[in-house]
Amino acid sequence: MKIKVAPSILSADFSAMGEAIKRTEAAGADLIHCDVMDGSFVEPITFGGQMVKNIRPLTKLPLDCHLMIEHPKTQIKFFAEAGADIITVHYKACKKISDSYLEETLNLIKSYGVKCGVAINPDVDVEKVFDVFPLCDMVLIMSVYPGYGGQKFIPETLEKVKKAREFARFSGMDGLDIEIDGGVTEENAAAIKAAGANVLVAGSAFFRSPDPAKTVRILAE
């Protein structure tokens, strides 16, 4: 399965976002990971659909929008119309509203012709989202608690990556993207890929790298 590298613009300089996007594309990245935080589901506030709209014309790379927000359904329209290629919502944010909210949100994303994903925090069992795998293009396994870049990778989350990949294969979903997000480095990438993840988010590892193109190659090899 092709390994895709998704630098997270959370670690970029927000005052020079256009340049950051161009450098990311020039370095050979496969996706641009956009971390959307609302100050409620997670403590910080980052940006909303307007940022996605503004960076859309600057790159051909798919925009991978990771919504760390409450009530995600209310924002899908804005991100879809802004040009998001993938929109991922959190299991926990959906579950606290109702049992059917996650499925409804995934279907809403798909109704715009946009790919959809579900994200789980380190304290959520992956089995909880097995029932929505058939609706998803991507499953995002958080390897840190969401909210901040630059945290340390939680190695126990690799077990969930393995379970997710096994379940996807067993259920005939060989093409399902499994994304890992948080604390990915040049050093732990091999173990992450061996566990079955094929989309690697890299915030600090990419934006603090002295040679971002080399970092992308190492993460993707």
Site residues (vs Zn ion, CB under 5 A): 35, 66, 181
Comparing every residue's Cβ against ligand DX5, the nearest one is: 203
Binding map of ligand DX5 across residues 11-40, x = CB under 6 A, - = no contact: x---------------------x-x-----
Known catalytic membership, residue 131:
no
177 binds ligand DX5 (CB under 6 A): no
CA 206 to CA 103: how far, in whole Å? 33
Task: Indicate which residue of 30, 38, 137, 181 is catalytic.
Answer: 181
Residue 213: half-sphere exposure toward Cβ, Cα within 13 Å? 6
CA 131 to CA 147: how far, in whole Å? 26
Closest among 30, 18, 44 to 213, alpha carbons compared: 30
Please check whether residue 50 is in contact with residue 88, taking contact to mean a CB–CB distance below 8 angstroms.
Answer: no
Residue 180 has phi, psi (to 5 degrees) of: -120, 140
- For ligand DX5, which residue of 181, 200, 209, 215 counts as binding (CB under 6 A)? 181
Q: Which is nearer to Zn ion, 117 or 210 (CB)?
A: 117
Q: Which is nearer to ligand DX5, 35 or 137 (CB)?
A: 35
Place of tokens 């925090």: 121
Please check whether residue 76 is in contact with residue 65, taking contact to mean a CB–CB distance below 8 angstroms.
Answer: no
Residue 150's binding partner among ligand DX5, Zn ion, none (Cβ under 5 to 8 angstroms by kind) is ligand DX5
48 binds ligand DX5 (CB under 6 A): no
Residue 13 has phi, psi (to 5 degrees) of: -85, 110
Q: Which residues are catalytic?
A: 35, 181
Residues of this chain that interact with ligand DX5 (CB under 6 A) are 8, 10-11, 33, 35, 66, 144, 146-147, 149-151, 181-184, 201-205
